[in-house]
Amino acid sequence: MSLLFYISSFVAILATVMVITRYHPIHALLYLVVSLLAVAMVFLSLGAPFVAVLEVIIYAGAIMVLFIFFIMMLNLGSETAQQEKNWLQPRVWVGPSLLSLVLLGEVVMLLLKGQNIVIQTSVVDARKVALSLYGEYIVGVELTGFLLMAGIVGAAHIGKQKKRNLHRFLQENENTGTTIKTIICPPSTVK
């Protein structure tokens, strides 16, 4: 069991390193999916099958897929990869990485200072989680419902594109930021 744990954690870390260093967004996303799956394995080895499955279904399956759809919608492809290559200069990542590694070092020191924690893994199965959820944490569940509702409504509203029907001679760019020479273009087709 512990072997599973070590291998999974190693994979997770490696995959995460790959996530943050890729140029192409799809590559990064896919690596992230791998990382999430590895973390799910870690959960399993810790005796938490319910959240392992949850991780796979929701995190890797819904959220990451949402990301992928988003990228496909915006059509971020090779230009993005090129752009990222230009942006990711060594002078950009050396400083923050050092700072964060210092943080890591300190946290590790903190962790190693305390007394030894020994985890006796025993499976906490879905039944126990469900009982706890609908027992003690019922209020939290309801609030999570609120949160998700707010998320839905917010996302739906913010993401809406305002469609204005203007005569094609009066088409100006709907964006207020840049001033592009007005080229009469047909009404926007991207929705």
Partner 1 sequence: MPLLAFIPTLPLLGFLVLSLAGRALPKKLIAPIGAGTICIASVITMLLCARFLLTPPADGAYTQTLWQWFNIGSLSVSISLRLDALSLVFVFIITFVGALIHIYSAAFMRQDRDYARFFACMNLFVCSMLVLVMAGNLVLLYLGWEGVGLCSYLLIGFWYETPANSNAANKAFYITRIGDTAMAIGLFLLYKELGTFTIPAILHDAPQAPSYNTLIPLLLLAGAMGKSAQLPLQTWLPDAMAGPSPVSALIHAATMVTAGVYLIARMHVLFQLSPLAMTATAVIGALTLFIAGCSAMVQTDIKRILAYSTISQIGYMFLALGVGAWSAAIFHFFTHAFFKALLFLAAGVVIEALHHEHNIFKMGGLKNKMPVVFLTFLAGAAALAALPLVSAGFYSKDQILWYAWNAANGNAALGSIALAGAFITSFYTTRLLLVVFWGESKTTPAHPPGQPPPIAYRPGPLMTVPLVILGILSLTSGFIEWPHNLLHLTLFSHHVQKTLPATLLKENLPSESAFQVITTLVTLAGIYLAYIVYYRSPASILQWRQSRRMMAIRDFLFDGWKFDALYRTLFVKPFVFITRVNKSDISDRLYNGIAQASLMLNRMVSLSQNGSLRWYIVGVLAGILFIITLQLFT
Partner 2 sequence: MSSFNGEIVLIVAAILFVLGLIGVLTRKNIIFILLSVEIMLNSAGLAFVAAGAKWQQPDGQVMFLFILAMAAAEVSVGLALVLQIYHQHKTLDVDGLKELRD
CB of 107 to partner 1, least distance (A): 7
Q: Which residue, 3 or 110, has its beta carbon nearer to partner 1? A: 110
Residue 43 near which of partner 1, partner 2, none (CB within 5-8 Å, type-dependent): partner 2
Residue 180: CA atoms inside 13 Å, Cβ hemisphere, count? 12
CB of 9 to partner 2, least distance (A): 5
- Pair 42, 8: CB distance under 8 Å: yes
What is the H or E stretch that residue 151 is in? helix 138-158
> Residue 23: which of 76, 72, 67 has the closest Cα?
76
Q: Which residue, 110 or 170, has its beta carbon nearer to partner 2? A: 110
Give the other-Cβ count within 10 Å of 55's Cβ: 21
Residue 144 near which of partner 1, partner 2, none (CB within 5-8 Å, type-dependent): partner 2
Q: Which residue, 123 or 185, has its beta carbon nearer to partner 2? A: 123
**C-alpha distances out from residue 25 to 72, 83, 103, 176, Å:** 10, 11, 27, 28
Q: Which residue, 100 or 144, has its beta carbon nearer to partner 1? A: 100
CB of 82 to partner 2, least distance (A): 12
CB of 64 to partner 1, least distance (A): 23
| Per-residue burial over 93-105, b = 16 or more CB atoms within 10 Å of its CB, e = otherwise | eeeeeeeeeeeee
Distance CA 60, CA 33 (A): 6
Give the other-Cβ count within 10 Å of 66's Cβ: 11
Site for partner 1 in 109-148 (CB under 8 A): 109-110, 113
Site string for partner 1, 73-112 (x = CB under 8 A): -----------------------x--xx-xx--xx-xx--
The contact set with partner 1 (CB under 8 A) reads 96, 99-100, 102-103, 106-107, 109-110, 113
